[in-house]
Amino acid sequence: MDERLLRTLLGEQHPDLADLPVRAAARGWDNQLWRLGDTLAVRVPCTERAPDLLRKEYRWVPELAPRLPLPVPVPLRLSEPSASFPHPWAVTAWVGGEPADRAAVTRGDHAAEALAGFLRALHRPAPEEAPDNPERGVGLTVVADGVEQGLPVLLPPAVASAARAVWDDAVSAPAWAGPRTWLHGDLHPANVTVAGGTLAGVLDFGELCAGDPATDLAAAWTLLPAGASGRFFQAYGCADDATIRRARGWAVRTALGLIGIGRAGDQGLPGGKPTWGPAGRSALDRVLADAG
């Protein structure tokens, strides 16, 4: 995708938007992001799975967004494949702020309250037709192989040992026995924005699904600064000890993923993102400190 092709696509399917200023904004994991005027964005798929994720977001995010207390990229139009571009693409609301892998959260108490309010609003029982996700909202044993393989490869021995203890405790915690709740499914620093030292928005609902809320509650360590997790869980108000233990396990898994993608970025490998490595190591430091 380049600006010329994007303007062609806008002219073909959304001529009322075709004259707005356009500029490249970012390349995410599944989509290229373009800024469209002052209030809109265009998301263009760049992986094989991205078109299905865009359709899922278009189906569900407009229904969920009105109850969420932080801005989210609500899909406004879903554009169909054409002779000019063989995949669907979406026009969404623009969410301001800088991604948290590039801008620090410094107002920990405020961010903890904001995140807790967002997740309280999101974590409501989902309808039967809400999507499942094979790697989010599931029991930790389902994703254990990746963690077991990543611990010795990505971490120094002493850190790997401490992380394994947290992971093992999480896996042994009682399973979620409540209803399938709505989940964002992918709360890591590149998927939230920061302004004024606190959370300003939540991005990328491509992993949206229903299941165990512990998956999202890992954000107490992956998104918030040291010392803020207690305030977060107090404000969230409905996470028992078993859920918090499972959330620590999800935080270890997310941190390993960030560290691995950061390492790939440092090595110049495809899909690597250098800013993710420090974010992952910081998240792991926080969860290990709290677990200790």
Mean pLDDT across the stretch 24-44? Answer: 92
Centre a 10 Å sphere on the Cβ of residue 127 and count the other Cβ atoms it contains. Answer: 10
Both tokens assigned to 138: 């599931």
pTM, 2 dp:
0.95
Q: What is the pLDDT of residue 290?
A: 94
Query: Which H or E element spans position 155?
Result: none
Both tokens assigned to 65: 């967004």
10: amino acid identity, one letter = L
Q: Over the stretch 106-143, which tens digit does the pLDDT of each residue have? A: 999 999 999 999 999 999 999 999 999 999 999 999 99
Mean pLDDT across the stretch 23-47? Answer: 92
pLDDT band, residue 73 (cuts 50/70/90) = very high
Give the Cα separation of 110 and 228 in Å (integer): 9
Mean pLDDT across the stretch 41-70? Answer: 96
pLDDT band, residue 30 (cuts 50/70/90) = confident
Residue 27 has pLDDT above 90, yes or no: no
The mean pLDDT value of the chain amounts to 96
Residue 72 has pLDDT above 90, yes or no: yes
Of 281, 119, 289, the residue nearest 212 (C-alpha): 119
Mean pLDDT across the stretch 175-203? Answer: 97
Give the Cα separation of 253 and 171 in Å (integer): 12
Greater pLDDT, 26 or 232: 232
Q: What is the pLDDT of residue 42?
A: 97
Q: What is the pLDDT of residue 28?
A: 78
Q: What is the pLDDT of residue 292?
A: 74
Q: What is the pLDDT of residue 246?
A: 98
Q: What is the pLDDT of residue 271?
A: 84
